Chains A and B, each alone.
Chain A
Amino acid sequence: TQLLEQSPQFLSIQEGENLTVYCNSSSVFSSLQWYRQEPGEGPVLLVTVVTGGEVKKLKRLTFQFGDARKDSSLHITAAQPGDTGLYLCAVRAGGTSYGKLTFGQGTILTVHP
C-alpha cells in the first residue's frame, strides 16, 4: 500500500486547458510538499503546505491542503508547454526516520502547443 496515492498518473492536454492533480492518504501529515521535475533535471520544490485548509498560489498554480491534512491538490490554470514535467507530492518522516522524503507515484503532465 502506497503512503501517498497520486492521480492521475498521466495527463496529456492542450495548451490553455486547466488541470488538477490529487494526492491522497489515510495518514495525517504535519506538512506536504509538491515538486516538479523536468526531463534531465532533479526535482525542484514548488511549495510546502502546513495548515489544514491552506491554499497557496504560485502564478498559475494553486495548491490546497485538505482540512484534515490527509490530502492535497495542485490545480494549474491555462496550462502552457513549459508546465510539462513530472509532478510529485511528498511528505517528510520525523523522529528516527527523519530525512526520509516519501513521494507519491507522480503525475506525468504533457502540455501540447
Chain B
Amino acid sequence: DTEVTQTPKHLVMGMTNKKSLKCEQHMGHRAMYWYKQKAKKPPELMFVYSYEKLSINESVPSRFSPECPNSSLLNLHLHALQPEDSALYLCASSLSGPGGSGNTIYFGEGSWLTVV
C-alpha cells in the first residue's frame, strides 16, 4: 500500500471560516509534508514534519496551521484565508527523516480549496 489519503477532495470556504484539511498514510513513513500548488505551476513546499515534529516552515502565513497528531496523520488548519489562497493542497510522505535523502516522496491526490 503506497497510498496517501487526503480529505476532503474539494472544499469551499468563506474568508471568516475555520476548516481543516486531513491527510493519512499507513506506510510507516516518518516524514510528512504539505505542498501548495497553483494551476499549471509546480508544487511549493509549505511544511515538513519529521518524527511528528515540525522541521521546516517555509515562512507560511499563520492563517495556515499544521498539526501532526501522530505518525500517520497530518492536518492543516485553515482560518481567515484570502481568495488568493485558493489552490490545490498536496500532502506527501516519505520513509524517514533527516539523512534519508534518497527516499521516495509519495503524494496524495490533493485537496482543492476555493476561498470565497
A: which residues have CB within 8 A of B?
30-31, 40-45, 48, 50, 86, 88, 92-106, 108
Establish whether residues A99 and B55, one from each chain, have CB atoms under 8 Å apart when the complex forms. Answer: yes
A32 vs chain B, min Cβ distance (A):
12
A55 vs chain B, min Cβ distance (A):
19
Establish whether residues A98 and B99, one from each chain, have CB atoms under 8 Å apart when the complex forms. Answer: yes
Let me know if B101 is at the binding interface, CB within 8 A. Answer: yes
Establish whether residues B43 and A103, one from each chain, have CB atoms under 8 Å apart when the complex forms. Answer: yes
B37 vs chain A, min Cβ distance (A):
9
Q: A99-B48, A99-B94, A100-B56 are in contact. Are A42 and B109 (CB under 8 A)?
A: yes
Contact of A106 among B42, B58, B92 (CB under 8 A): B42
Q: List 5 A-B contacts (CB under 8 A).
A: A45-B104, A98-B50, A98-B55, A98-B98, A99-B56
B32 vs chain A, min Cβ distance (A):
9
Q: Which residues of B are found within 8 Å of A45, using beta-carbon distances?
A: 104-106
Let me know if B69 is at the binding interface, CB within 8 A. Answer: no
Q: Which residues of B are found within 8 Å of A108, using beta-carbon distances?
A: 40
Establish whether residues A30 and B109, one from each chain, have CB atoms under 8 Å apart when the complex forms. Answer: no
Let me know if B102 is at the binding interface, CB within 8 A. Answer: yes
Q: A40-B109, A98-B98, A99-B94 are in contact. Are A48 and B41 (CB under 8 A)?
A: no
